[in-house]
Amino acid sequence: MTNRTLPTDTLDQTLAVLAEDFDLLGDWEQRIEYVIELGKGLAPLDEADRIEANKVPGCAAQVWLATTQDEGRLWFAADSDSALSKGNIALLLKLYSGRTAAEIVAFDARAALDRLGLPSALTRQRANGLNSMVGRIREAALAVQ
């Protein structure tokens, strides 16, 4: 698994920083470009994690999400064959990786994504894929609570 740096901010604080970054970007093209840049920063996913069980259903592209649990925290690693999907999952990992299951379950992901304006900037299929990614993260958290 990749980056194991514990988050120092709460989920709400991390979201606030992301929202500030998004607000500084003018139009949707710049915001989408920012998301794609986030994806370029993802650590490579181990080949062993590119398995059917880690595929996120409902995405326009192939998306893999691997989960491990360590000391009460969930850690996520992911990849996609699409630059935008890879960016979307990178954004979610920025929010969720290293959090406790309780933190993840208590966080209102839909409101967070709306605050960033992401669903409205994406096609319906991509927005559904983003929701599927969030759903998979929440399922992982619910499974260990």
Write down the domain spans for the chain: 11-143
**Rounded mean pLDDT of the chain?**
91
Q: Tell me the DSSP string of 39-57.
A: HHTSPPPPGGG-SGGGB-T
Fold of 11-143: Sufe protein. Chain: A (3.90.1010)
pLDDT tens sequence across 109-131: 989 988 888 877 788 888 899 99
Catalytic site residue 59?
yes
pLDDT tens sequence across 84-103: 999 999 999 999 999 999 99
Question: Which among 15, 38, 59, 116 is annotated as catalytic?
Answer: 59
- pTM summary value: 0.91
71 alpha carbon, distance to own chain's centre? 21
